[in-house]
Structure 1
């Protein structure tokens, strides 16, 4: 029998929750794409809701934080040519750029296989050792050698590290001077099918803009199908599968394929401003210390394919989380006693295209990061029936895990380790941008854990729609648990610390109080 949360101080208003998700995930909001009509409606909805609750503006005198962005729409009529091989966009490969340029081309670019594309001194691993890839095209395997070998002594074994994330691979290749990256897609190590790659990379994308129009970013950000990689390696008289096995060993050395890549990426560029949204409950005796409760408001927006309109409403990912944060904001605003610490309720833009709103917030927070105690993040809720456990992402990462353990125990629930550590969810949502600034966090996510069909049939697809028949028992119990954690953190003197040695821990030490 599942534990009851009726006695918890948090009171769940199921009717309002349904209405919030229904509205945010409606066709009228057009998939909540940044810099679209959907953004305008979403930001207004959140701002008006926070005003109605009586929350103060989260950014000085405004509920909005302007996020300067570029909206980049690549012409999908392109082909990738590698020597005599010709590949079709969408079905065989995807390519885009975050450089703010109307056109980018690969002209007879040398192709090099760099294994997992990792430079990690702490793991004694460098796929770029003694290698010059300046201006070249690199082919990289997805995930990291730990997953490939399932050897716990290599990286973290089955659990993905940040070195396995596609974002890292693009960043490191850019640091090495490469012109283009093509990541080889395989469903198991990527944690999603090719349809997710295709949907996420063949429509409008967004990026922050620096003074140099992002020239330090990688030129071409690409993916290729597994079978395409095999064809390319065969053309180079090499066996892809054998080299893939070799790449998972520390002795691996990068291999020039002696092939040339040609590709032209043409972009329609719009410079515009998107918005993060935040409402504040001020603190009392420790009002200069902040706790942040968050869910990203954006999804994939609307696209036109084959002459038809396709709306990615993102009901679970992440209208469900935004509605959850709004419930928590209403609850804490209605309490008779104000919290000792300030509570900031946030919703960031452009999470789906690379944590862009979170990165901007982390670099331009309303208060210094040393005043932010922790960052709690919802990225998809269990809209089905309640369960007798709560998922924990990461292990022995920070002392916030103790808060999770205690809150779960109070509900009679257990804490269950991430069932898919190989997916690297620790690095795929907005809390990670704050972690890189030293702020410890917890992520609450139920994408596919209670609905096995979600990842394969709904995640980043048009089928992620609102359903009035959702049970919402899982939402109710998880919001009660999160409320318990917020209440404790907002009213004690604790500063949860990082446990494992990491760049996050080093960054926090720089902000030591």
Structure 2
């Protein structure tokens, strides 16, 4: 065979391989308009939107943009005909100049520690508050584990390790081994410490068990934070919620005459007993408090014969807004997290609306963009209470929190394992795209507990999380996640976005036309809650 024909054969083979690759990575690609995604993300992540901080001009621009886009698609407002669900909340801004004093040590806010509150209280003080090391700060009867046994921490400051003992030991028989349980989440540690009567918590930061560097703690826990308000002004919440840098921790333990690494080993013992440090903490936490309303954005595609049964597609619209620093304002545009997910909900709504025109869905579909996810899943917590739609009428929820803006891949990530039958829907839809389901490669990060779908899981609604934060871009977590560098790029191919939008559309389309009510697989609080709800 001549070189000419060899060359032509090679070209033909290359074109065939290229076509096959396109088929694998772009199932239903004709449905997804990537120009729309580029436009939405570029707008939502622009400096004009000022980082999409709740209760700022960024919120006003964002929610109005979303409502207008849904209106253009012909969707109705999902809150009694309106697009906005008011979320009453407080904006609390702690004094960045506060100093934590322990004995002869002085720690600087931001650099050495963070502290904030969710109580509606402008002044909270630690005055000679006894400090106690309580290991992992876990009280879990099902694991025969109680770090608070035989210790009274009422009014005291507790110092707590991040994550749970399973991660530290990698022992599958201890908690769930490498995979984080809810007991490893900082939210749980604050909740349990409050139940125990503690005045303050300092969670010790280490990058591996926390799953993110100190810079993420600093950006996420300084500046303005938000909270829902109960009738008692959140008086049952932990007064002071804090983090402590690793270096500061070593100084603290040294001042107490203890070795931090040895303490960590002791904390892994099932018979561990909390250790008073014989030191006291002093801190004045002064916060500026603003009471206001933020908004969830809710759009409705109404079903026909079973309009009172709902599938929910969601993504949070907020990020960290603009922070004033000594070197000037920093805008946290949150392009990947979560302008991509927000843009994804709009595009999914467009596609499903077009399908609905051809063959109407029997069930209703809600598109919800939540506020204040970054400060504790606040918007989703309110929605999941069922005031707008009772949870017993929610068939399932598919939540997007950061999409793969780069090229398509031959897998889809699954968060959680053997949780619910929604995993079966995920596997089936992925197979249609010739993609495999890949279990979360970092279960120790506890991502199943860290996005808006978890608010619904706690209420018994089977949920899926779609997240790509660093899986295809190893640089993302280290240098962009929750930082001002998370910016839009016109160079993004959006191959991964195209794949996942198509997959989500597939799942939602099926659920909107069948009679299935996906169930929880394993016995859990989620399953118990669902059974109670559906009785």
* TM-score when normalising by structure 1: 0.99
Selected match of 2:107 from 43, 63, 87: 87
Mapped partners of 2:83, 2:126: distance in 1: 43
State how 1:191-270 maps to structure 2 within 5 Å.
Answer: 191-270=211-290
Residue of structure 2 in register with 1:397 after alignment: 419
SS at match of 2:159: strand
SS at match of 1:463: coil
Selected match of 1:503 from 516, 519, 525: 525
Q: Is 1:171 aligned to 2:191, yes or no?
A: yes
Selected match of 2:150 from 124, 127, 130: 130
Residue of structure 2 in register with 1:428 after alignment: 450
Unaligned ranges ≥5, structure 2: 1-19
* RMSD, aligned CA: 1.0
Mapped partners of 2:528, 2:295: distance in 1: 30
Bigger radius of gyration among the two: 2
Q: How many residues align?
A: 513
Residue of structure 2 in register with 1:412 after alignment: 434
Mapped partners of 1:163, 1:56: distance in 2: 40
SS at match of 1:511: helix
Q: Is 1:102 aligned to 2:122, yes or no?
A: yes
Residue of structure 2 in register with 1:22 after alignment: 42
Mapped partners of 2:516, 2:81: distance in 1: 29
Selected match of 1:489 from 511, 514, 521: 511
The answer to whether the Cα contact below 8 Å between 1:10 and 1:331 also exists between their aligned partners in 2 is: no
Q: Is 1:450 aligned to 2:469, yes or no?
A: no
Residue of structure 2 in register with 1:359 after alignment: 381
SS at match of 2:125: strand
Q: Is 1:49 aligned to 2:69, yes or no?
A: yes
Mapped partners of 1:3, 1:90: distance in 2: 47
Mapped partners of 2:268, 2:375: distance in 1: 29
SS at match of 2:50: helix
Residue of structure 2 in register with 1:461 after alignment: 483
Which moves more between the two structures, 1-10 or 385-394? 1-10
Per the TM alignment, residue 213 of structure 1 is displaced from its structure 2 partner at its CA by 1.1
Per the TM alignment, residue 512 of structure 1 is displaced from its structure 2 partner at its CA by 1.9
Mapped partners of 2:166, 2:21: distance in 1: 36
Residue of structure 2 in register with 1:290 after alignment: 310
SS at match of 2:295: strand
Mapped partners of 1:249, 1:420: distance in 2: 25
Residue of structure 1 in register with 2:343 after alignment: 323
Mapped partners of 1:250, 1:7: distance in 2: 50
Q: Is 1:156 aligned to 2:176, yes or no?
A: yes
The answer to whether the Cα contact below 8 Å between 2:91 and 2:292 also exists between their aligned partners in 1 is: yes
* TM-score when normalising by structure 2: 0.95
Per the TM alignment, residue 61 of structure 1 is displaced from its structure 2 partner at its CA by 2.0
Change (3 A) 1:3 1:158: farther
Per the TM alignment, residue 6 of structure 1 is displaced from its structure 2 partner at its CA by 5.1
Change (3 A) 1:7 1:385: closer
Mapped partners of 1:297, 1:124: distance in 2: 40
Residue of structure 2 in register with 1:181 after alignment: 201
Per the TM alignment, residue 8 of structure 1 is displaced from its structure 2 partner at its CA by 2.1
Change (3 A) 1:307 1:293: same
Mapped partners of 1:50, 1:131: distance in 2: 54
SS at match of 1:111: strand
